[in-house]
């Protein structure tokens, strides 16, 4: 192992990181956070990392983007080509190459409008895959590792092993696909794959859902050299029917190359000592924490129109989807509100869930605030101002909010799934080192019991509650450590893909 790392430091890797969203430029979820932080951490370790993403209409920093390539993607043997430009965005951190192809990305949203996915998403994201490889050759960037993320990039590993199988340029390039959420499989009819004729010609069975549909995620999992999930527990869930959303055979086939690497938390953005969004910054020491939490709670209550009372406050910030488990909370929320508590939920999404939450907030406006918005500043104020953060997720590949909560001395109450189980320590199991609460059963009742349990702790054992806050704030999920594990995946293990890269470089 030591020799491998030595060869690595002598030979920084060239890494192409492809993602459909990147925090700071375009974001709908946690994928964007990872796509900002992981490349930055790898760059800090001395590697040459470039990010590729679409040049969306709404992308931040559009005005300062510089065109570094104007070209066409030729699709042989089709009689057509797609013109595109590579726009380089702010280079202060990792260079970001944004693909400007207006027919695909010049739209108000990233994936969907009014909860309706764009009808040509299959073509839009097969373009992302195909153009990411096309631009490497044209810009002369010869990657050792092409790091793909979720279904949007799943055709890259397939193209490397088909279109580019004989290419000298990519002869040593290996691919990795990170699974952030296997529920989204990127399933499209063959009609949408006109840019990827190899798929149509080969009718590649491992990626077929049925005789007329191909899943881009399945293609990625089947063809990537390595596959990883965003937490060790999610990696093991992917081997099961329930946990993989029906893709267990695909992941079982790749079990030898399947890794689980927990995401890091970006403590430059999420740090109560430096957070510019919160009313009063605070440290982990008891006095500073108590004062800071109180000021932040008052400020949050003011912002969401709740009475400024000294009662325990429970929060949740999420997309309103089934994944986040709102259907477990809604049936017991009114029961829980019978207690002397306040609850704040911030998020947008499913109209049915939103209307149920709106109804409850109208009935209990003195105790429950539902803010139907997506707001990063408000998310910071919730993390800082509440005492408990609820994540009753149906499934949760990694989850980031529980990490943010821990950093702000806010105790997470989570269901024991995916990365939640890897990052929170349950008070009822191991009280001494506990950082929050975990429960298992996917039922509203099980959630309610845990909520009541946390309230008892808060009200009856305040010193114990404060001790848990200290434990929570001492937890660290540093990106540097996760990036080391990614590197080990690129470089480590007997069948390791970059074992080969390293050996090649040492030989060279
Ligand atoms: C997805 C998952 C979430 C994970 C994030 C980043 O949004 O649902 O659990 O934290 O990706 O990997």
Tens digit of each residue's pLDDT (9 = 90 or more) over 283-319 = 999 999 999 999 999 999 999 999 999 999 999 999 9
Decide: helix, strand or coil at residue 265: strand
Does ligand 1 have an atom closer than 6 angstroms to the CB of 237?
no
Distance 195 CA to ligand 1 centre (A): 29
Which two three-digit tokens encode residue 330? 């809604």
Q: What is the pLDDT of residues 109-156, one digit of tens each?
A: 999 998 899 999 999 999 999 999 999 999 999 999 999 999 999 999
Q: How confident is the model at residue 79 (pLDDT cuts 50, 70, 90)?
A: confident
- The structure tokens listed for 84 are 């595109």
Task: Pick from 317, 398, 486 the residue to mutate for probing ligand 1's pocket: most ligand atoms within 8 Å of its CB.
Answer: 398
- Answer for the pair 396, 323: CB distance below 8 angstroms, yes or no: yes
Give residue 390's pLDDT. 98
User: pLDDT-derived band of residue 201, with 50, 70 and 90 as boundaries?
Assistant: confident
Q: Is 180 in the pocket of ligand 1 (CB under 6 A)?
A: yes
Give me the DSSP letters along 161-226.
HTTTTT-STTTT-EEEEEES-TT---EEEGGGGTT-HHHHHHT-GGGEEETTEEEHHHHHHHH-SE
Contact of 105 with 62, CB cutoff 8 Å = no
Q: Is 229 in the pocket of ligand 1 (CB under 6 A)?
A: no
How long a stretch of residues is the chain?
508
Quickly tell me which residue has 């998310």 as its tokens: 379
Q: For ligand 1, atom 12, name the residue with the nearest CA.
A: 180
Q: Is the CB of 489 under 6 A from ligand 1?
A: no
> What percent of the chain stands above pLDDT 90?
90
Cβ–Cβ under 8 Å, residues 216 and 152: yes
How close is the Cα of 20 to the center of ligand 1, in Å? Answer: 13
Instruction: Give the number of the atom of ligand 1 that is nearest the alpha carbon of residue 323.
Output: 8
Mutate-to-test residue for ligand 1 from 20, 28, 30, 486, highest number of ligand atoms within 8 A of CB: 30
344: which 2 tokens?
């704040």
pLDDT in tens, 255-293: 999 999 999 999 999 999 999 999 999 999 999 999 999
Q: Is 27 annotated as a binding residue?
A: yes
Q: Is the Cβ atom of 27 under 6 angstroms away from ligand 1?
A: no
Give the strand order in the sheet containing 213-215: 187-189, 213-215, 208-210
Q: How far apart are CA 220 and CA 155, in angstroms?
A: 6
CA of 226 to the centre of ligand 1 (A): 19
Amino acid 492: pLDDT: 62
Ligand 1 centroid to 419 CA: how many Å?
Answer: 9
- Centre of ligand 1 to C-alpha 299, Å, is 29
Q: Cα-atom radius of gyration of the chain, to the nearest Å?
A: 23
Distances (CA, A) of 502 to 4, 131, 159, 487, 496: 7, 27, 23, 12, 10
Domains recognised in the chain with CATH numbers: 2-264+479-507 (3.40.50.2000), 286-474 (3.40.50.2000)
Question: Which of 28, 181, 396 has most ligand 1 atoms within 8 Å of CB, for mutation?
Answer: 181
Q: Residue 347 phi/psi, 5° resolution? A: 165, 165
For 345-379, how does the pLDDT look when each residue is reduced to its tens digit (9 = 90+)? 999 999 999 999 999 999 999 999 999 998 999 99
The closest alpha carbon to 293, from 82, 48, 112, 473, belongs to 473
Q: Which atom of ligand 1 is nearest to 263's Cα?
A: 12
DSSP letters for 328-363: HHHHHHHHHTTSS-EEEEE--B-HHHHHHHHHHHHH
pLDDT of residue 80: 83
């Amino acid at each position: 192992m030591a020799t491998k790392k030595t060869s690595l430091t002598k030979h920084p890797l060239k890494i192409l990181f492809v993602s459909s969203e990147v925090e700071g430029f375009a974001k709908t979820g946690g994928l964007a956070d990872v796509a900002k932080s992981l490349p930055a951490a790898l760059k800090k370790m001395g590697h040459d990392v470039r990010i590729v993403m679409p040049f969306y209409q709404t992308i931040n920093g559009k005005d300062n983007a510089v065109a570094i390539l104007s070209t066409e993607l030729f699709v042989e043997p089709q009689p057509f080509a797609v013109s595109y430009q590579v726009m380089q965005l702010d280079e202060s951190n990792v260079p970001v190459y944004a693909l400007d192809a207006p027919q695909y990305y010049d739209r108000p949203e990233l994936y969907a409008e009014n909860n309706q996915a764009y009808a040509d998403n299959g073509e839009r994201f097969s373009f992302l895959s195909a153009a990411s490889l096309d631009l490497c050759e044209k810009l002369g960037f010869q990657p050792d590792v092409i790091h793909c993320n979720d279904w949007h990039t799943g055709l890259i590993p397939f193209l490397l092993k088909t279109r580019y199988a004989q290419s000298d340029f990519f002869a040593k390039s290996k691919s990795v696909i990170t699974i952030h959420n296997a529920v989204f499989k990127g399933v499209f009819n063959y009609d949408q794959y006109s840019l990827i004729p190899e798929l149509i010609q080969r009718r590649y069975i491992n990626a077929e859902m049925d005789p007329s549909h191909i899943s881009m995620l399945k293609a990625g999992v089947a063809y990537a050299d390595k596959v990883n999930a965003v937490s060790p527990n999610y990696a093991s869930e992917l081997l099961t029917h329930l946990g993989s959303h029906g893709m267990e055979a695909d992941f079982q086939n790749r079990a030898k190359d399947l890794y689980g690497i927990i995401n890091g938390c970006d403590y430059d953005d999420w740090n109560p000592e430096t957070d510019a969004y919160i009313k009063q910054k605070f440290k982990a020491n008891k006095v500073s924490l108590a004062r800071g939490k109180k000021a932040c709670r008052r400020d949050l209550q003011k912002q969401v129109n709740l009475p400024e009372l000294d009662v325990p406050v429970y929060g949740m910030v999420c997309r309103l989807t089934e994944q986040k488990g709102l259907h477990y909370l809604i049936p017991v929320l009114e029961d829980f509100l019978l207690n002397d508590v306040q609850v704040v939920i911030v998020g947008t999404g499913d109209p049915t869930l939103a209307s149920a939450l709106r109804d409850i907030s109208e009935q209990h406006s003195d105790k429950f605030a539902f803010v139907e918005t997506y707001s990063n500043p408000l998310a910071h104020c919730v993390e800082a101002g509440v005492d408990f953060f609820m994540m009753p997720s149906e499934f949760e590949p990694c989850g980031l909010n529980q990490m943010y909560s821990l950093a702000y001395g806010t105790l997470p109450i989570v269901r024991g799934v995916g990365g939640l189980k890897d990052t929170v320590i349950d008070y009822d199991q191991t009280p001494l080192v506990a950082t929050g609460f975990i429960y298992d059963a996917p039922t509203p009742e099980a959630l309610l019991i845990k909520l009541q349990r946390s309230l008892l702790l808060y009200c009856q054992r305040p010193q114990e509650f404060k001790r848990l806050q200290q434990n929570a704030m001492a937890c660290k999920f540093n990106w540097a450590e996760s990036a080391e594990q990614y590197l080990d995946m690129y470089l480590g293990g007997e069948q390791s893909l970059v074992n080969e890269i390293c050996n090649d470089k040492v030989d060279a």
